[in-house]
Amino acid sequence: MNTTTKIYIAGHRGMVGSAVWRALEKKGYTNLVGKTSADLDLRNQQSVLNFFQNEKPEVVIDAAAKVGGILANNDYPYQFLMENMQIQNNLIDTALKSGIEKFIFLGSSCIYPKFATQPLKEEYLLTDSLEPTNEWYAIAKITGVKACQAIRKQFNKDYVSLMPTNLYGTHDNFDLKSSHVLPAMLRKFHEAKLNNTPVALWGSGTPMREFLFVDDMAEAVVYALENKLPEYLYNVGSGKDITIKELAETIQKAVGHQGEIIWDATKPDGTPRKLMDVSKMKEMGWQYSTELKEGIEKTYAWFLENINSVKEVKM
């Protein structure tokens, strides 16, 4: 690997992909390739094949996915299953057929069973049933992990899967209908501060979640790029979790909202706890650096600067 290696970042305009792009540029990489969804439909096999033949990338980082929170997963199960499989299958298979030796596949902690022992270890994959509210996305991501594992086993290529915990940060999706918990809360508290109103949040506030600032995730991707990791699957996270109630209070303080928080216990909580065991990545030499309070403050500052153009997803 050198700074002129041609690296294709699928999903380079998304939160994770753009963070990876920034991290690589910061380290001096000069031959980065990205295409918007308007220029390249990753769901179309022939389009992906044509792109690889024309561009001839040497490394692929797959940060492209159809993503969303509980509501979006529940309302659009088929799209979350099928479109994610189409995207990753086209990228993985075309990379293999193009002779690409290094492929980094990015997934999600939701691949692990709903009631798996905490913290979640890589070996818990496929040992029990999934969380029903996001199983469609999880099943798609599991097939991507197993495809990369199969390529490692059969063709001895350096295809590795990184499973991040809940990511947040700049360039996130702040659309209240399709976003994840942290950006949705941030937007709700901001709007409630402007309107001097209470904030209504789903669930009981008792589930525990782990969060990782997206720039830290990008550093983990760069680490995997520059090192040959000996196993096929690695968790990426902080190794720390907090309750959703604590998260809400942290965001409320960062935003400066003074009103009441109302919890709607008739709405689903999702998985009771999701904490990653990140010891394997730590043993390899990588660990996170941004604490949650600092990350939320950075995210809110970016949100305020880009408030007129924050990403909203049309389903």
Structure tokens at 28: 């001096």
- Which residue among the candidates 8, 29, 112, 137 is catalytic per the annotation? 137
For residue 75, the one-letter residue type is D
Q: Which helix (H) or strand (E) holds 243?
A: strand 242-243
Residue 173, helix vs strand vs coil: strand
User: Per the annotation, does 134 bind a ligand?
Assistant: no
User: Per the annotation, does 302 bind a ligand?
Assistant: no
User: Per the annotation, does 20 bind a ligand?
Assistant: no
User: Per the annotation, does 12 bind a ligand?
Assistant: yes
User: Per the annotation, does 28 bind a ligand?
Assistant: no
User: Per the annotation, does 13 bind a ligand?
Assistant: yes
User: Per the annotation, does 97 bind a ligand?
Assistant: no
**Cα torsion for 24, 306, 165, 267, to the nearest 10°?**
-170
User: Per the annotation, does 164 bind a ligand?
Assistant: yes
User: Per the annotation, does 295 bind a ligand?
Assistant: no
Structure tokens at 247: 């998260």
225-249 burial, b at 16+ Cβ within 10 Å, e below that, comes to beeebeebbbbbbbbbbeebbebbe
Residue 209: CB atoms within 10 Å: 21
Structure tokens at 64: 């492209």
User: Per the annotation, does 22 bind a ligand?
Assistant: no
- Let me know: does 158 contact 228? Beta carbons within 8 Å: yes
In the residue annotation, 137 being an active-site residue is answered as yes
Active site residues: 137
Give binding residues for substrate as ranges. Answer: 188, 202, 209, 269
Binding residues for NADP(+): 11-17, 106-109, 141, 164-167, 180
